[in-house]
Structure 1
Amino acid sequence: MPTWGTRGLRGSGLEDLINLVNEKYREKGVALVQKVPTPIKPIRIDSASRHITLAYFEKKSTVDYIGVVQGVPVCFDVKECNTSRFPLSNIHAHQIQFMEDFERQDGIAFLIIYYSEMNMYYYLTFRKLMEFWNRSKDGGLKSFSVEELDMIMELRNCMGVPVHYLEGIQKDLGQRD
């Protein structure tokens, strides 16, 4: 079982940035999106500082964020990648299942991927994620490259929002009509 404080917190800087974006959206009254807390079971607590020094994840998490954007339910996960190839092993089957179920309920599920090598944020629709996921399950590549992505879904700084993912949602909705 993975421990808290190891691999699972690699993207915490990215999550801090998305938390800031979500706060800006809330202040502007355009979205209410919150971080889904990952349930942990504390094992060791430093008695002097009262800080958790060792913990285990209690159960599998679903996605990082869930909320509503102008009446549209959204859920998404944020991932960081330090090369131009994104390994699908960074996504778990239970997350795919949750996003699939969420979309079946007329919600919008997606990933925000930060490609640190290129300093690029990308909105990956659930439909596109499923293309890559199914290709992998059918014996194909277990990753996808930036070259396979439609750059119209790149996320940029806009109106003081560093990762303006509402534009990605708007484009995603436009592709569904």
Structure 2
Amino acid sequence: MATWNSRGLRGSSLEELINYTNEYYREKKLAVVQKIPTPIKPIRMDKDSSQITLAYFEKDSTVDYIGVVQGIPICFDAKECAVDTFSLQNIHEHQYHFMKEYEEQQGVSFLIIFFTHRNKYYYLRFSELKTYMDRVNEGHAKNFKYEELNPDFFIHTKNGALVHYLELLDKDLQLRA
């Protein structure tokens, strides 16, 4: 089990930007997407402030976000990467299987990856993720390189949407048709 102190706040700045974007989408009636809290089991509490000082993740979470965009069910996870090589070990097996099952039910699954050192956001379609995962089974390294990514799926800020992933969701849907 991982402890709250070691992993609990990783990626929080990316999630804040996505939360802001999702609130913008909700206000504009474009989408309703919610952050899914990770279930934790408190172990130690500060008696004076009633704050949790130590906790463990209670069970495996699915993905960070689930919602609906104009009738289309979506789920996605937010990941940060500080180098040009994204390790597929950042995607837990239970997350990948959840996303796969979501796709099988006609939902749309994807990742939003923030390459922090480049200040670039990427919409990783599930089909692209599956390609990378499949090639691991063929003996390839458990990663992919920034240079391999499709330049058409980098996310840009637009209007009030800081991480405007809806345009890329539309492209993803067009490729599926």
The two structures have a TM-score, normalised by structure 2, of 0.98
Aligned position for 1:72: 72
1:97 matches 2:97: yes
Cα offsets for 1:6-48 (capped at 9, x unmatched):
1242101111111110000000000000001110000000010
Contact 2:124 2:153 in 1 (8 A): yes
Aligned position for 1:165: 165
CA distance in 1: counterparts of 2:137 and 2:48, whole angstroms: 49
Contact 2:87 2:143 in 1 (8 A): yes
Unpaired runs of at least 5, structure 2 = none
CA distance in 2: counterparts of 1:98 and 1:158, whole angstroms: 30
Report SS of the residue matched to 1:6: helix
CA distance in 2: counterparts of 1:139 and 1:95, whole angstroms: 21
Aligned position for 1:33: 33
> Cα offset for 1:88?
0.3
> Cα offset for 1:162?
0.9
CA distance in 2: counterparts of 1:156 and 1:8, whole angstroms: 27
Q: Which amino acid aligns with 1:38?
A: T
Contact 2:66 2:74 in 1 (8 A): yes
Q: Which amino acid aligns with 1:143?
A: N
- Identity rate of aligned residues, in percent? 56
CA distance in 2: counterparts of 1:174 and 1:141, whole angstroms: 30
- The residue correspondences of 1:59-138 to structure 2 (distance < 5 A) are 59-138=59-138
Contact 2:112 2:122 in 1 (8 A): yes
Report SS of the residue matched to 1:44: strand
Report SS of the residue matched to 1:30: coil
- The residue correspondences of 1:16-31 to structure 2 (distance < 5 A) are 16-31=16-31
CA distance in 2: counterparts of 1:59 and 1:36, whole angstroms: 13
Q: Which amino acid aligns with 1:142?
A: K
Q: Which amino acid aligns with 2:50?
A: R
Report SS of the residue matched to 2:5: coil
- What is the RMSD computed on CA atoms of the aligned residues? 0.7
CA distance in 2: counterparts of 1:147 and 1:31, whole angstroms: 31
Report SS of the residue matched to 1:162: coil
Cα offsets for 1:136-155 (capped at 9, x unmatched):
12211211011101110000
Following TM superposition, the consecutive aligned residue runs of length 4 or more in structure 1 with deviations greater than 2 angstroms are none
Report SS of the residue matched to 2:157: coil
Unpaired runs of at least 5, structure 1 = none
> Cα offset for 1:168?
1.0
